[in-house]
């Protein structure tokens, strides 16, 4: 290893004294001004990971739905997945190392992971629209260069686009072309084919208002528009030309506050959606004629998509095993509807995309969504081959058409990670194919009233959970108290968990009425102190 170069560049990216960060569910995330050294060091780490896996590794500079002043960084593994956990630990150690420790930590990682120093290294870099992102991505490049790695700087891209391109590159473009244009072409083609199969007349238009959170989604949708069929009419709001990123808008804002974003006027029954700041999350919503706001969240998206796929599987006569993966935040009504009415098995994992993703990989078809709107569908290799084969060879017309729809769905979905653009196109296509309005989709089941609160405590790590975060095992007595409180209400449920991204404890409750959900959440939050 060229330690001289590492040290020379290191001196240009000094760590602020006393700063300690952790590679969490969303990578590193904090004030942009504290991240220069982290970016440089993640460039170094990406080179080692690339040499070890003999694959291209991605580095995405973004802080997603956080305020403009923040930033963050995430590494993307060879098939477009999140970085594996052993390496998350290396990332944390490297980010927190003192200047003089960097060399020894790099050496240790190389020994432990059998990294061959002369192996070719390749890193794909992308960034969101934050002001700080450009300079920070230059620091990543310094890290990659210091260790002699090759890089491709994609500049401004959505997080899922970078995941997609890493996957394309490492599958010899079996997954698609490793360019932004390749991404637009693949998705647009699949969307065009899929919606061609809708029975509605040619000039039936699909109208959608999109709140882009003043982020990268706006830029990329503008680029993509010319590839998309004309019958999809999208209107972009909060496109970043006037207002601040994520400020009073975006998927996270809409989900948490259960109200429309600023900057988007909703007429009754108009279909609207919001992306988050790096376009890996999406939620839908509308106002009814009485002016009431209705959120159509990740649980409803999972229900729509899994119902659609299940119906097609029945048509093609395939017994592929499909399951839906959720977290503790999934509304009880969605779980109930999927299990009882749709007869689809549902699994629950801890919060964080990687947990859902891993669980979803266990099935022929795994649909996963967090209630907050992050999710996708995974198809096993075998399932994909069966479907593609049927779409080509099946003699029976009806079966072949259904198989083709499934095939187009496979091509339209970004299987590497949740993707607001891809999910939006899947949803729009399904609504068109099924002839559903957003109200009809929303009415599939009724959400139980719920409330989320955050509680500041001295040390959130005293809370430990089990059973996919649904029960607290520490501190002693807490779960018993929650159980007591839950018993007081009908159709009730509550849990607490330490946040992985903020220094708070999160409280979630559900009950038969909004008042009851609110007071249950309040009572549980008092029990946390
Ligand atoms: C991160 C996760 C997201 C999760 C959220 C929970 C990824 C890419 N992102 O943003 O999935 O919902 O954290 O945050 O895994 P919390 O731990 O603060 O509640
Ligand atoms: Zn995001």
Contacts of 513 (CB under 8 A, 6+ apart): 449
Query: Is residue 64 among the annotated active site residues?
Result: yes
Give CA–CA dist 484/493, Å, rounded. 11
Please work out, in degrees rounded to the nearest 5, the angle formed at the alpha carbon of residue 338 by the alpha carbons of 337 and 342. Answer: 95
Quick one: DSSP state of residue 226? G
* Segments of 218-279 assigned E as strands: 232-237, 272-275
CB 353 less than 6 A from any atom of ligand 1: yes
Residue 74 CA: which ligand 1 atom is closest?
8
Whole-Å CA distances, 233 to 28, 203, 209, 284: 37, 11, 9, 16
Residue 353 CA: which ligand 1 atom is closest?
15
CB 503 less than 6 A from any atom of ligand 1: no
Per-residue pLDDT in tens (0 to 9) along the chain, 529 residues:
778 999 999 999 999 999 999 998 889 999 999 999 999 999 999 999 999 999 999 999 999 999 999 999 999 999 999 999 999 999 999 999 999 999 999 999 999 999 999 999 999 999 999 999 999 999 999 999 999 999 999 999 999 999 999 999 999 988 999 999 999 999 999 999 999 977 665 557 899 999 999 999 999 999 999 999 999 999 999 999 999 999 999 999 999 899 999 999 999 999 999 999 999 999 999 999 999 999 999 999 999 999 999 999 999 998 999 999 999 999 999 999 999 999 999 999 999 999 999 999 999 999 999 999 999 999 999 999 999 999 999 999 999 999 999 999 999 999 999 999 999 999 999 999 999 999 999 999 999 999 999 999 999 989 999 999 999 999 999 999 999 999 999 999 999 999 988 889 999 999 999 999 999 999 999 999 8
Q: If you measure from the C-alpha of residue 321 to the centroid of ligand 2, how many angstroms do you get, rounded to a whole number?
A: 29
Give CA–CA dist 48/113, Å, rounded. 9
Ligand 1 mutation target, pool 500, 502, 503, 507, most atoms within 8 A of CB: 500
User: Helices H, strands E: what count in the chain?
Assistant: 18, 19
CB 278 less than 6 A from any atom of ligand 1: no
Q: What is the pLDDT of residue 3?
A: 84
Q: If you measure from the C-alpha of residue 90 to the centroid of ligand 1, how many angstroms do you get, rounded to a whole number?
A: 20
The Cβ of residue 41 has, within 10 Å, a number of other Cβ atoms equal to 29
The first and second tokens of residue 46, run together, are 């990406």
Q: If you measure from the C-alpha of residue 300 to the centroid of ligand 1, how many angstroms do you get, rounded to a whole number?
A: 19
Give CA–CA dist 47/149, Å, rounded. 6
The first and second tokens of residue 48, run together, are 């080692």
Active-site hit among 10, 50, 55, 64: 64
Domains, the chain, with CATH or none:
3-156 (3.40.120.10), 183-296 (3.40.120), 298-419 (3.40.120.10), 450-528 (3.30.310.50)
CA neighbor of 264 nearest in space, from 283, 286, 295:
286
This complex has an ipTM of: 0.98
Residue 82 CA: which ligand 1 atom is closest?
8
CB 26 less than 6 A from any atom of ligand 1: yes
The Cβ of residue 466 has, within 10 Å, a number of other Cβ atoms equal to 12
Q: If you measure from the C-alpha of residue 278 to the centroid of ligand 2, how many angstroms do you get, rounded to a whole number?
A: 5
CB 163 less than 6 A from any atom of ligand 1: no
- The residue nearest atom 19 of ligand 1, judged by CA position, is 499
The Cβ of residue 3 has, within 10 Å, a number of other Cβ atoms equal to 14
**Residues with Cβ–ion distance below 5 A, ligand 2:** 64, 276, 278, 280
- The residue nearest atom 4 of ligand 1, judged by CA position, is 352
Q: If you measure from the C-alpha of residue 372 to the centroid of ligand 1, how many angstroms do you get, rounded to a whole number?
A: 9
Ligand 1 mutation target, pool 23, 24, 25, most atoms within 8 A of CB: 25
CA neighbor of 308 nearest in space, from 190, 433, 410, 218:
433
CB 375 less than 6 A from any atom of ligand 1: no
Residue 498 CA: which ligand 1 atom is closest?
17
The answer to whether residues 292 and 446 touch, using CB atoms and an 8 Å cutoff, is no
At residue 358, the 3 state secondary structure works out as: helix
The answer to whether residues 66 and 246 touch, using CB atoms and an 8 Å cutoff, is yes
Enumerate the β-bridge partners of residue 451.
509
- The residue nearest atom 1 of ligand 1, judged by CA position, is 26
CB 74 less than 6 A from any atom of ligand 1: no
The answer to whether residues 146 and 2 touch, using CB atoms and an 8 Å cutoff, is yes
The first and second tokens of residue 91, run together, are 């990332």
Give CA–CA dist 529/527, Å, rounded. 6
């Amino acid at each position: 290893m060229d330690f001289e170069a590492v040290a020379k560049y290191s001196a240009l990216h000094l760590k602020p004294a006393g700063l300690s960060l952790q590679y969490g569910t969303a990578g590193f995330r904090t004030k942009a001004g504290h991240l220069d050294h982290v970016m440089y060091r993640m460039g170094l780490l990406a080179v080692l990971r690339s040499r070890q896996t003999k694959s291209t590794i991605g580095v995405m500079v973004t802080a997603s739905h956080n305020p403009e002043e923040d930033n963050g960084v995430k590494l993307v593994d060879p098939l477009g997945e999140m970085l594996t956990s052993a390496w998350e630990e290396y990332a944390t150690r490297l980010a927190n190392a003192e200047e003089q420790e960097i060399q020894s930590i790099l050496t240790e990682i190389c020994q432990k992971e059998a990294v061959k120093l002369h192996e070719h290294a390749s890193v794909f870099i992308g960034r969101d629209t934050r002001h700080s992102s450009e300079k920070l991505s230059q620091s990543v490049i310094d890290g990659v260069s210091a260790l002699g790695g090759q890089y491709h700087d994609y500049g401004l891209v959505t997080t899922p686009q970078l995941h997609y391109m890493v996957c394309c590159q490492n599958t010899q473009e079996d997954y698609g072309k490793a360019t932004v244009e390749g991404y637009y072409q693949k998705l647009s083609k699949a969307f065009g084919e899929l919606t061609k199969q809708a029975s509605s007349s040619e000039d039936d238009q699909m109208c959608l208002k999109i709140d882009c959170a003043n982020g990268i989604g706006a830029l990329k949708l503008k680029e993509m528009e010319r590839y998309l069929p004309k019958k999809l009419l999208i209107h972009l709001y909060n496109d970043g030309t006037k207002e601040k990123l994520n400020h009073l808008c975006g998927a996270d804002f809409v989900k948490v506050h259960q109200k429309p974003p600023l900057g988007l006027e909703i007429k009754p029954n108009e279909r609207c959606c919001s992306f988050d700041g790096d376009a890996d999350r999406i939620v839908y919503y509308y106002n009814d004629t009485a002016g009431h706001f209705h959120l159509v969240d990740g649980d409803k998206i999972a229900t729509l998509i899994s119902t659609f796929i299940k119906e097609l599987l029945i048509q093609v006569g395939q017994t592929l095993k499909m399951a839906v993966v959720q977290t503790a935040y999934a509304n009880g009504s969605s779980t109930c509807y999927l299990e009882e009415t749709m007869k689809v098995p549902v699994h629950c994992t801890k919060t964080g995309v990687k947990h859902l993703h891993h669980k979803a990989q266990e099935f022929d078809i795994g649909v996963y969504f967090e209630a907050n709107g992050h999710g996708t569908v995974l198809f096993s290799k075998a399932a994909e081959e069966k479907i593609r084969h049927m779409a080509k060879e099946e003699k029976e017309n009806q079966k072949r058409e259904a198989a083709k729809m499934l095939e187009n769905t496979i091509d339209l979905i970004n299987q590497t990670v949740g993707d607001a653009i891809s999910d939006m196109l899947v949803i729009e296509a399904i609504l068109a194919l099924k002839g559903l309005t957003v109200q009809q989709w929303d009415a599939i089941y009724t959400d139980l009233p719920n409330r989320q609160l955050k509680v500041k405590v001295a040390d959130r790590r005293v809370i430990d959970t089990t059973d996919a975060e649904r029960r607290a095992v520490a501190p002693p007595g807490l779960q018993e108290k929650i159980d007591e409180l839950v018993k007081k209400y009908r159709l009730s449920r509550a849990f607490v968990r330490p946040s992985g991204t903020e220094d708070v404890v999160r409280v979630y409750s559900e009950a038969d009425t909004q008042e009851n959900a609110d007071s249950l959440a309040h009572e549980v939050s008092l029990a946390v102190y």
